[in-house]
Amino acid sequence: MTTEPTTDKLRVALFSGNYNYVMDGPVRALNKLVAHLEKRGHDVLVFAPTSKDSYLDHAGELVSLPSCPAPRRPEYRIAIGLHGASKKRLADFAPTLIHIAAPDLGGLGALNYARRNNIPAVASFHTRFDTYPRYYGAAWAEKYLTKYMRYFYGRCEHVYPPSQSMADELLRDGIGREMRLWTRGVDSALFNPEKRDVEWRRSMGLDDGDIAVLFVGRLVLEKGIDHFARSLAAARKAHPNLRALIVGGGPERDSFEERCPDGVFLGHQGGEDLARSYASGDIFFNPSITETFGQVTLEAMASGRPALCANAAGSLSLVDDGTTGFIAQDNVEDFTEKLTRLAGDAELRAEMGAAGREKALTYSWDAVLDDLIHNYRDAMTTFEGGAGRPDNTLPKAA
């Protein structure tokens, strides 16, 4: 990792599909990045859709992009381009680098602007958006979205996936050219096994003999909540003391509660409340196959919890199968088998939790973010001024 000096100031324009109005892993990472850039003495301006409601006091200055509600997911908004006042604000800011965190029309507008104005553009990769249609009855659209993502990321100087397994997957699918890892850090003082609170568990209706199976994330179909509910129900045939402990909110909360009728649903949490919930669980279960990194998995490992995760790119880079937890195939049978094994072996849970904590301690935010700034500088140094990627190859979104 490279230690970043505060000299030679950068001017970074960051474009995201969500920066403050729905809490998720990418939002946490992007806010960490902006705060770190400013701490290092660089200038940052964030462009993203906004909502009248937000979940956090965001880092840095935020410029609202024109947007509309996402189909079937109205809690999210989709940027419809880079126009008018927001485009003028970008021009006045005069960025030396543009970082795009979502391949929506706002991101495409930023990419067009970068090419027309001879500015290097890089992109971080947070989500396999092209897999989402399979959860909403539109699997036919997946190949078209994948084709668009090849087109979009292939025109960026660097693509920053959060894990080597995700980088390998993107290269396999022809998405992006020059890959540089932007992994994640974790606050290991906040997320700590010592935050376990037996009295709090009891106050939540958990008996001392219950084994709390923890889920942390948005309550949406693409997070694998159907597999979570079905696998938990199957494993309870052997271990009826298994209980769901659910942190997060979303449009599928009511249906999830129906599937886990004696589960504990805590809603959105942050800070010390979230740390206590992680440490007070017994098994962390992340069945999502859309994870590109899995910040919640890293936080659970830092909290000393064994992790049961789907065979997804992000999880593969975090979980050492059989050591810090288990990697399962994306089916109820394999999830159930491994969940049953963990439920029946307290010693194994303790060993895996301790190993997970040890691995999590190697993830430092400052080192990770300084390394990303170093990659920014590499992109600026090697930038070819758009040679081989003329503007007329890009659709006009701005």
Judge if 284 and 323 occupy the same domain.
Answer: yes
For the cut 50, the answer to whether the pLDDT of residue 387 exceeds it is no
Judge if 241 and 348 occupy the same domain.
Answer: yes
* CA separation for the pair 230, 53 (Å, rounded): 33
Task: Place 194 in a pLDDT band, splitting at 50, 70 and 90.
Answer: very high
Q: Is residue 4 part of a domain?
A: no
Judge if 96 and 49 occupy the same domain.
Answer: yes
Q: Is residue 230 part of a domain?
A: yes
> Rg of the chain over CA atoms, in angstroms?
21
pLDDT tens per residue across span 276-320? 999 999 999 999 988 778 899 999 999 999 999 999 877 888 999
Judge if 114 and 241 occupy the same domain.
Answer: no
Q: Is residue 242 part of a domain?
A: yes
Q: Is residue 6 part of a domain?
A: no
pLDDT at 279: 98
Q: Is residue 375 part of a domain?
A: yes
Judge if 168 and 278 occupy the same domain.
Answer: no
pLDDT tens per residue across span 322-366? 999 999 999 999 999 999 999 999 999 999 999 999 999 999 899
Q: Is residue 166 part of a domain?
A: yes
Judge if 172 and 273 occupy the same domain.
Answer: no
Q: Which CATH number belongs to the domain containing residue 354 in this structure? A: 3.40.50.2000
Judge if 46 and 142 occupy the same domain.
Answer: yes
Judge if 207 and 99 occupy the same domain.
Answer: no
pLDDT at 4: 55
Q: Report yes or no: 294 and 25 within 8 Å, Cβ to Cβ.
A: yes
pLDDT at 397: 41
Lowest mean pLDDT among 143-157, 257-271, 380-394: 380-394
Q: Is residue 120 part of a domain?
A: yes
Q: Is residue 374 part of a domain?
A: yes
Which residues, including other chains, have CB under 8 Å from residue 387's CB and lie 6 or more apart?
none
Q: What is the model's pTM? A: 0.74
pLDDT tens per residue across span 237-282? 999 999 999 999 999 999 999 999 999 999 999 999 999 999 999 9
Question: Please, what is the Cα angle at 162 between 159 and 168, to 5 degrees?
Answer: 70
pLDDT at 128: 73
pLDDT tens per residue across span 107-148? 999 999 999 999 999 999 987 776 766 777 778 778 888 899
Task: Place 389 in a pLDDT band, splitting at 50, 70 and 90.
Answer: very low
* CA separation for the pair 298, 366 (Å, rounded): 16
Q: How many domains does the chain have?
A: 2
pLDDT at 395: 42
pLDDT at 391: 42
User: What domain range includes position 276?
Assistant: 193-360
Judge if 370 and 305 occupy the same domain.
Answer: no
Tokens 């980088």 correspond to what residue?
167
Judge if 152 and 65 occupy the same domain.
Answer: yes
The upper half-sphere exposure of residue 10, i.e. CA atoms within 13 Å in the direction of its Cβ, equals 31
Judge if 378 and 322 occupy the same domain.
Answer: no
* Cα dist from 169 to 94, 162, 289, 317, whole Å: 34, 12, 13, 12
pLDDT at 133: 66
Judge if 40 and 66 occupy the same domain.
Answer: yes
